[in-house]
Amino acid sequence: MEATTGPVAVQEGREGPAAAHPCFRPEHEALRQTVRELVARHLRPHARAWEEARAFPKEVFRLLGEHGLLGLRVPESLGGAGLDWFATLAFVEELHRCGSGGLAMAVMVHTDMALPPLVRWGTPDQHRRFVEPAVRGERVLAIAMTEPWAGSDLAGIRTTARRVDGGWVLDGTKTFITNGAIADVVLVAARTDPKAGRKGISLFLVERGTPGFRTARLIDKVGMHSSDTGELVFEGCHVPDANLLGEPGRGFYHLMWELLGERLVIAAGVVAMAQEALELAVAHVQSRHAFGRPLARFQALQHRLADMAARLEAARQLVYWAAWRMQSGLDAVQAVMMAKLVATRTAFEMADEALQLHGGYGYTLEHDVQRIWRDVRLYRIGGGTDEMLREVISREMGLRPSRTGSERDE
């Protein structure tokens, strides 16, 4: 992707002050502009229809792949762009302006949740078969950790993988799996040693069409309507040795590494959603009149919006700080946990406040603020609940004893 030259201009409005942040270089802003134009031309116009249809076409992945957007941090040798974390943040921020939180989440699952472990621990053969097509948008990825009886407690999963000649046989159920119905390849966590606790979990690449693997049902949700969420069932599902990802028994630690990046992109995404909610609220109070004057002329509303803007900026800068630590190779566990906790709570509270400022209009389906309110709520659960994040933060502060298998382990 061609980079721009010269200083980066401060851009007011849609993206907030991100363009002026010192961590965003000219090439990041060129990328941001590319994504913004693509979203405005190809995604936003169709978002409402896709929300109503409870699905979006898989061709969206191919479109993003054709523009080089699905492998921003993937090495160039594997077909990616070889860029950094701030390229990812620019992409995520603009993608979340597409008018559909579900679409943005589905893409992030592909690019920043399922793909990074494949890049880091995949064999050359797996890179060829899975990474390169995923970067082109030809094969859609999903990651399957959560089970009906194991959410935050990943070490408690019951899906098993039994060793057989030439491979493994998987049995079990996964639930709340984004891209569960459309994914061509699913990264599945399964227990390979029932007596080894978290050291007995391994990762497998299960391809669509493998006998014994099926999507049992789709789960209806409060928000994220255009994103399919499936329950996956594995019954005597044979996976060849060539589809074991990483070392046997190291799957738990591989996923702890993955979750760090997952939580960072979630935090960046919800900040973008909160930015849009704030803009909608400002536009509404400027256009709506009561008692003979615009709502924006009432000091009480001005102060509420000022508080919202200040809290949003604090969350944004915390996300950028966490990204800087990740990019710099520094210990980023506590920073990322704080960023996700603060950003997701701030975004939901801002969406709620923005809806309130719309009055009755905010509660109607014709106004986007209600969709943001519904969509953003998921992120206080998915990718690490508020409660789990507080557990990790308190441990990082030395308030709780450390234990093997923390987010520091790989």
Is position 72 within any domain?
yes
What is the phi/psi pair of residue 142, to 5°? -145, 165
Answer for the pair 223, 378: CB distance below 8 angstroms, yes or no. yes
- Quote the pLDDT of residue 403: 55
Do residue 129 and residue 81 come from a single domain?
Answer: yes
Domain count, the chain: 3
Do residue 238 and residue 258 come from a single domain?
Answer: no
Do residue 159 and residue 127 come from a single domain?
Answer: no
Supply the DSSP string of 23-54, one letter for each residue: T--HHHHHHHHHHHHHIIIIIGGGHHHHHHHT
Amino acid at 385: T
Spatial distance between the Cα atoms of 155 and 47, rounded to a whole number of angstroms: 37
| Other CB atoms within 10 A of residue 7 CB | 7
Q: Which of 120, 139, 158 is the last residue of a domain?
A: 139
Structural domain boundaries, residue 51? 16-139
Give CA angle at 70 (26, 331), nearest 5°.
70
CATH number for the domain spanning 85: value is: 1.10.540.10
Spatial distance between the Cα atoms of 131 and 116, rounded to a whole number of angstroms: 9
From start to end of 36-104, where are the E strands? none
Tokens 């990322």 correspond to: 336
Is position 6 within any domain?
no
- Quote the pLDDT of residue 71: 97
- Classify residue 195 by burial, with Cβ atoms within 10 Å: 0-12, 13-18, 19+: exposed
Do residue 179 and residue 221 come from a single domain?
Answer: yes
Do residue 149 and residue 104 come from a single domain?
Answer: no
- Quote the pLDDT of residue 4: 32
- Quote the pLDDT of residue 402: 62
- Classify residue 283 by burial, with Cβ atoms within 10 Å: 0-12, 13-18, 19+: exposed
Active site residue 279: no
Is position 306 within any domain?
yes
- Quote the pLDDT of residue 7: 26
CATH number for the domain spanning 360: value is: 1.20.140.10
Q: Which of 211, 231, 249 is the last residue of a domain?
A: 249
Is position 404 within any domain?
no
> Under 8 Å CB-to-CB from 351, ≥6 apart: which residues?
273, 274, 277, 369, 372, 373, 376
Is position 328 within any domain?
yes
Do residue 239 and residue 293 come from a single domain?
Answer: no
Do residue 335 and residue 392 come from a single domain?
Answer: yes
Q: Which of 249, 269, 291 is the last residue of a domain?
A: 249
Do residue 196 and residue 273 come from a single domain?
Answer: no
Is position 296 within any domain?
yes
Spatial distance between the Cα atoms of 129 and 143, rounded to a whole number of angstroms: 17
Do residue 62 and residue 108 come from a single domain?
Answer: yes
Do residue 196 and residue 234 come from a single domain?
Answer: yes
Give the gyration radius of the chain's Cα atoms. Answer: 21
Given 94, 262, 353, 407, the catalytic residue? 262
Specify whether the backbone of 398 is left (phi greater than 0), alpha (psi in -120 to 50) or beta. left
From start to end of 254-338, where are the E strands? 289-290, 293-294
Spatial distance between the Cα atoms of 226 and 307, rounded to a whole number of angstroms: 32
Do residue 133 and residue 114 come from a single domain?
Answer: yes
Spatial distance between the Cα atoms of 157 and 147, rounded to a whole number of angstroms: 7
- DSSP-derived pairing of the beta strands 185-191 and 141-144: parallel
CATH number for the domain spanning 157: value is: 2.40.110.10
| Other CB atoms within 10 A of residue 209 CB | 8
Give the mean pLDDT per block of 10 residues along the chain (410 residues): 30 48 92 97 97 96 98 97 97 97 98 97 98 98 92 85 96 96 97 92 97 95 95 97 96 94 98 97 89 84 95 97 96 97 98 96 93 97 94 91 49
- Quote the pLDDT of residue 297: 83
pTM for this predicted structure: 0.91
Is position 45 within any domain?
yes
Is position 287 within any domain?
yes
Q: Which helix (H) or strand (E) holds 245?
A: strand 244-245
Largest CA distance in the chain: 80
Q: Which helix (H) or strand (E) holds 390?
A: helix 386-396
Closest CA to 354 of 296, 308, 315: 308
Answer for the pair 24, 18: CB distance below 8 angstroms, yes or no. yes
Closest CA to 238 of 323, 292, 161, 342: 161
Answer for the pair 296, 307: CB distance below 8 angstroms, yes or no. no
Do residue 152 and residue 186 come from a single domain?
Answer: yes
- Quote the pLDDT of residue 410: 39
Beta bridge partners of 283: none
